[in-house]
Structure 1
Amino acid sequence: MATGFACAYSCCYRSRLHQQYGLQEKPCGDCCVHWCCGPCALCQEYRELKSRGFDMSLGWQGNMERMGKGVATAPPQMHPGMTR
């Protein structure tokens, strides 16, 4: 049962990644990708952020400082409700 919640939680971040960088949901929706193969989805997201210059060893705040966006105290919050 906890696995389903992790899938729902992680697909929200995949959706944010798509919105932030104007990426398309292909070949299927974000939640479907995380539900069918969560590890594959996380690897794709990791590679996308890495190709955009993120250094995963720095963490969220370290990357924000490095990119000149100031110190963020927390990751951006999701908009409540359905967006589609």
Structure 2
Amino acid sequence: MKTCFYSCFYRSKLRKHYKLKGGGCGDCMLHFCCETCALTQEYRELQNRGFDMSIGWHANVEKNQGLAMAPVVEKGMSK
């Protein structure tokens, strides 16, 4: 029961990072009603974006430097 709240948080974070549609209450309900389905969707989304789940998180960060971190946004006008 407690794990669905953690995984719901990461699903929302994933949506925000990749600008995916949906979110909010739907994410929480999906994790509460069918945790396995929600985690499978997230796994496939990351896999389609070039992550290799078999090598672990840290190896993926090293392998996909541009994918694992949000882009830097400069503020204001440059000249």
Aligned-pair distance for 1:29? 1.7
Q: CA deviation at 1:24?
A: 1.2
Correspondence for 1:62: 59
Equivalent residue, structure 2, for 1:53? 50
2:77 is aligned to: none
Deviations, residues 24-76 of structure 1 (Å, cap 9, x unaligned): 126x621111011100000000000000000001111100100125xxxxxxx
Counterpart residue number, 2:74: none
Instruction: Please give the root-mean-square deviation of Cα atoms over the aligned residues, in Å.
Output: 1.4
TM-score, normalization: structure 1? Answer: 0.71
Distance 2:53 2:20 in 1: 20
1:30 equivalenced with 2:27 (yes/no): yes
Percent of counterpart pairs with the same letter? 55
Q: Of 36, 40, 43, which residue of structure 2 is paired with 1:43? A: 40
Q: Name the CA distance, whole Å, in 2 between partners of 1:66 and 1:31.
A: 31
Q: Determine the structure 2 residue equivalent to 1:15.
A: 12
Distance 1:16 1:68 in 2: 18
Corresponding position: 1:5 with 2:2: yes
Q: Mind listing any 5+ residue stretches in structure 2 that lack a counterpart? A: 67-79
Which runs of 5 or more structure 1 residues have no equivalent in the other structure? 70-84
- State the number of aligned residues: 65
